[in-house]
Amino acid sequence: MSSPARHGSNQPLAAELRELRLEIEEFNTEYARVLDEGDLETWPDFFTDDGLYRITSRENAVDDLPIGLIYCDGRGMLIDRVRAILKTTTHEPRYLRHFNSNVRVAGIGDGRVSSNSNYLVVETLMEGGTDIFQSGRYEDTFVRVDGSLRLSARHCIYDTLLITNALIYPV
């Protein structure tokens, strides 16, 4: 139950942390909507130009291994990935839906906000019911660009060890 750390001198005000928490929730809502609606071309806009995006397992994260299922360093790589997905999607069609919760502001300082939250993604195949696709947590670093939050890093650290091939989609 430690307090969030400020990387500078002063403790962040409770009101500042609350405000950031609510703002990150709204960011995640927009982010999830874009992915749930399959609007992949908009997805890179949530990142800064040098934004990092990684999907990796909880085991790799614990061991601090950089490898992962997806690793994109910079918006160019994000855009490339979207193009690759849109060209090569041959797997079974499915619906995804994100449930974001438990946003926690972990630290503020140097124009950066570090935060984590939980995500649950459920999937529906065309002939079946709805099942859990992946649960995990986001470990994020946000910066402010033109007044709005952008991801300078999003690490998606998943619990789920048995991943279907649909993981070529971002979460």
Which residues are near a second copy by CB under 8 A?
Answer: 1, 18, 21-22, 26, 28-30, 32-34, 36, 42, 45-46, 58, 95, 97-104, 116, 118, 120, 122, 124, 126-132, 134-137, 148, 159-162
Longest CA pairwise span in the chain (Å): 57
Residue nearer to a second copy on the CB measure, 49 or 110: 49
Residue nearer to a second copy on the CB measure, 47 or 52: 47
Nearest distance, CB of residue 124 and a second copy, angstroms: 4
Residue nearer to a second copy on the CB measure, 88 or 129: 129
Gyration radius from the chain CA atoms: 16
Residue nearer to a second copy on the CB measure, 1 or 88: 1
Which tokens is 104 given? 């926690």
Question: Residue 121 forms beta bridges with which residues?
Answer: 98, 134
Which tokens is 82 given? 């979207």
Nearest distance, CB of residue 151 and a second copy, angstroms: 12
How do 148-158 and 47-57 pair as beta strands?
parallel
Cβ atoms of 126 and 94 closer than 8 Å: yes
